[in-house]
Amino acid sequence: MKLITYRLKENGSEKIGILSQDEQKIFPLSQFDMNYETMNELIENMTDAELELLKSKAKREPEQFLFRDKTISAAPIVNPRQDIICLGINYMAHAEESARYKKEDFGGERPFAVYFSKRVNEAVADNDVIPAYEGLVDSLDYEAELALIIGKDAKNVAEEDAFDYIFGYTIINDVSARNLQTAHKQWYFGKSLDGFTPMGPVIVTKDEFEIPPKLDIKSYVNGELRQDSNTELLIFGIAHVISELSKGMTLKAGTIISMGTPAGVGMGFVPPRFLKKGDEVVCEIEGIGRLRNVVE
C-alpha cells in the first residue's frame, strides 16, 4: 500500500490518503473513518488491525477519490518529529569515490557504521525545488537513499526482530553542501540547510517488499544516469542498524533512518560534477517511485 500526503489546491490544507494502483488517484483517508490528520499521527497511533483493514478497503478502489494532478504534492512526512538518522559511507563503491574526493575527510577504515543526523524543518515535496544557496554553497550534491520509517517504539531490538518495527519505506535525496561538510569537519551543517531533504513521493508499507528489501536505486541529473546500484549492497544492513541503535537509544515511532547512498554522486567524478541552478535531479527506487526536484 502506498500512502501519500497532499494539499488541496483550494485552501492548501494538508491531507493524507492512499494512492491507487495506477497512481493517478488518491483515496482520502477521511472516508475510512480513521481520524488521523497527519502521517506522523497515523504512524504513531494506527494499530495493526486498522492497517490491515485499510489495506483491504484500498484494494477495492473506493468510489470517493481525487485525481492526483488536481492536488499539490507534499512530502509524505512534512515535518519529522526528530532529526533524520543517516548512514554515511554505507556502500563500498561510494566509500571509494568519497576518499578519492577528499581522503582526509572520507578515507580510512570504518569497521563500525557511520551515523549522523540531518535537521529537517520541512521536507521538500516531489516536484518542488532545492535551493542553490549561491554565495554559501559552491559544491551542491545529490544522494539517492532508501529511508525506513519506524512504526513502533524500538528499544533493545534483536536483529532477527528488527523488521517487525518497520512501518514502511520512502526515498530521500540527502542533498549536501560539500564545502560546508568538509570545512566544519562534521556533516551536520552541510546536510541540514533548509530545503536539503526532498522526500517521497510516497511511503510504501513494508509488506510490499521482501526481507531485507533488494531494490534497484538510481539517480539522474538532467536525464543522465548517475547512480545505479541495489540496496542489497549496503555495508551495514537494516536489521543491524535498528538493532545497534536501539541498544543505546529508543527509536520512537515515526523515526526516519536513511540508509546511505551508492556511488555516482557529484563529488565522485573527476573533476566533480556538482549541481547548479536549473538542474533536474530524479531519485528512483524500485517499488517506491521517482522523486523529482529542480535546483533554483
* Strands of the chain, DSSP E: 2-8, 14-19, 25-28, 66-67, 71-73, 84-88, 114-118, 129-130, 140-141, 144-150, 166-173, 176-177, 199-205, 216-221, 224-230, 256-258, 280-285, 289-295
Residue 154 bridge partners (DSSP): 251
pLDDT in tens, 8-63: 988 888 999 999 989 999 999 988 888 899 999 999 999 989 999 888 888 877 87
* pLDDT value, residue 97: 74
By CB neighbour count within 10 A (0-12 exposed, 13-18 middle, 19+ buried), where does 109 fall?
A: exposed
pLDDT in tens, 218-243: 999 999 999 999 999 999 999 999 99
Helix, coil or strand: residue 7: strand
Residue 102: pLDDT above 60? no
pTM: 0.94
Size of the chain in residues: 296
For 129-157, what is each residue's pLDDT tens digit? 999 999 999 999 999 999 999 999 999 99
